Structure 1
Amino acid sequence: MFEPGHLHRSSQPGQIDFDVDLFYEVRRDPNEGQMVHFRMEGQIAGKAFKDEFELHRDTAFNFASVATRMAAKHGLPTNHSLIMRSHDEFDRMFEDIRDKLGAKSGETVSFDHLEKDGL
Structure 2
Amino acid sequence: MPRAKRGNKRLEKRKKILALAKGYRGTKSKLYRSAKESVERALNFAYTGRKLKKRDFRKLWIVRINAACRLNDMKYSQFMHGLSLAGIDLDRKSLADIAVKQPETFTAIASQAKAAIDNKPQPTA
Q: TM-score, normalised by structure 1?
A: 0.20
Give the structure with the higher percent helix.
2
Q: TM-score, normalised by structure 2?
A: 0.20
Higher relative contact order (CA 8 A, sep 6+): 1
Give the structure with the higher percent strand.
1
Q: Which protein has the larger Cα radius of gyration, Structure 1 or Structure 2?
A: 2
